[in-house]
Amino acid sequence: MVRATRLGSGKPQTVDWCAPAEVPVGMVYNKTPHAVMMATPDDLHDFALGYALAEGVINQADELLDIRIHSLEKGIELHMTIPENRVERLKLHGSGRAHFGRAGCGLCGVDRLDDAIRPLPRLPDTQLRISHNIAGNAAVSLGKKQPLRRINKSVHGAAWVNAIGEITNVREDIGRHNALDKLIGACARDGVELHEGFALLSSRCTFELAQKCALAGIHALLTLSAPSASAIDTAKRANLGLASWDRRSGTLVVFTGNVWNG
């Protein structure tokens, strides 16, 4: 808790505010440091697995052989074991240095365009169809499913919504990319069929979020703010269904894909 002052039409009020934690979380693969992300230190096993899947370090959940959490004086390290044939994926730059990513940015530490704009798989067509009502109900319900957001108004949420519109998993983090990584990890751990539902994000959609969804095998993504042009282009190339929910008009704005119905 931190002390804050609320100003309004009446007298100033002193309030206790629950500010979200934000700490350095180091990703270490086979004893080699790879990345440091500023993140909310919750659901770290999901974060470790989801980050590895969404960044293409591994292709499937069972390739993450072990996760050990080391709490240090200045942060947390996630020590992970992966097959040796996957270690080559970490040598993107050949420099052996770790990358630093701030919570609000998915590309901090990336210093080559080839590493930012990566080749993407083209997702196969799916029989999934998401109605306007299912999308809208999920979008409206997301805030009620975010316990951290209710008390601090600061964190992003990433949710998994099944084909009938039920929110079955929610993960939160100070960074929208981290929240999505945690959700991907949770879904992988639970064996969720990613062609039978959609991801819902409380944030806007930028191209690296679309990349993460495509690499993880998510077929549809709904956001509560409109996407960037590069996100739309990325979604088209990956055959990812991308839409946003316009809260002011109560309408579903579809940008890519045939998974969305009126």
Q: Which CATH architecture has domain 23-116?
A: Roll (3.10)
Three-state SS at 201 = strand
Q: How far is CA 190 from the centre of its chain?
A: 16
Give the pLDDT confidence of 38-93 residue by residue, as tens digits. Answer: 899 999 999 999 999 998 899 999 999 999 999 998 899 999 999 988 887 676 54
Q: Which residue has the tokens 């992970």?
A: 80
In this structure, what are the phi and psi dihedrals at residue 190, rounded to the nearest 5 degrees?
-90, -5
Catalytic: 213?
no
Burial class of 181 by CB neighbour count within 10 A (0 to 12, 13 to 18, 19+): buried
Residues forming beta bridges with residue 247, ordered by sequence position: none
| Mean pLDDT over the full length of the chain | 86
Q: Does 3.40.980.10 match the CATH number of domain 132-256?
A: no
The answer to whether 23 and 41 have CB atoms below 8 angstroms apart is yes
pLDDT at residue 93, rounded to an integer? 41
* Alpha carbons 212 and 78: distance in angstroms, whole number: 20
Select which of 105, 108, 187, 205 is catalytic: 105
Stronger pLDDT, 115 or 249, i.e. the higher one: 249
Q: Is beta strand 23-29 parallel, antiparallel or unpaired with respect to 75-81?
A: parallel
* Alpha carbons 81 and 2: distance in angstroms, whole number: 38
* Alpha carbons 138 and 167: distance in angstroms, whole number: 7
pLDDT at residue 97, rounded to an integer? 46
99: confidence class by pLDDT, cuts 50, 70, 90: low
Task: Catalogue the E-assigned strands of the chain.
Answer: 2-6, 13-17, 23-29, 32-39, 66-72, 75-81, 99-101, 156-162, 167-173, 197-201, 220-223, 241-246, 251-256
In this structure, what are the phi and psi dihedrals at residue 95, rounded to the nearest 5 degrees?
-95, -20
pLDDT at residue 109, rounded to an integer? 46
124 has pLDDT over 80? yes
203: confidence class by pLDDT, cuts 50, 70, 90: confident
Share of the chain above pLDDT 70, in %: 86
Domain locations in the chain as residue ranges: 23-116, 132-256
* Alpha carbons 241 and 221: distance in angstroms, whole number: 6
Contacting residues for 215 by C-beta, under 8 A, at least 6 apart: 53, 54, 55, 56, 118, 120, 121
What is the average pLDDT across 31-37? Answer: 88
Q: Which residue has the tokens 């959490």?
A: 69
* Alpha carbons 58 and 206: distance in angstroms, whole number: 23
Stronger pLDDT, 118 or 157, i.e. the higher one: 157
What is the average pLDDT across 108-127? Answer: 66
Reported residue count of the chain is 262
* Alpha carbons 58 and 51: distance in angstroms, whole number: 9
Give the pLDDT confidence of 222-240 residue by residue, as tens digits. Answer: 999 889 888 898 999 999 9
The answer to whether 139 and 159 have CB atoms below 8 angstroms apart is no
The structure tokens listed for 251 are 């309408």
* Alpha carbons 39 and 145: distance in angstroms, whole number: 20
148: confidence class by pLDDT, cuts 50, 70, 90: confident
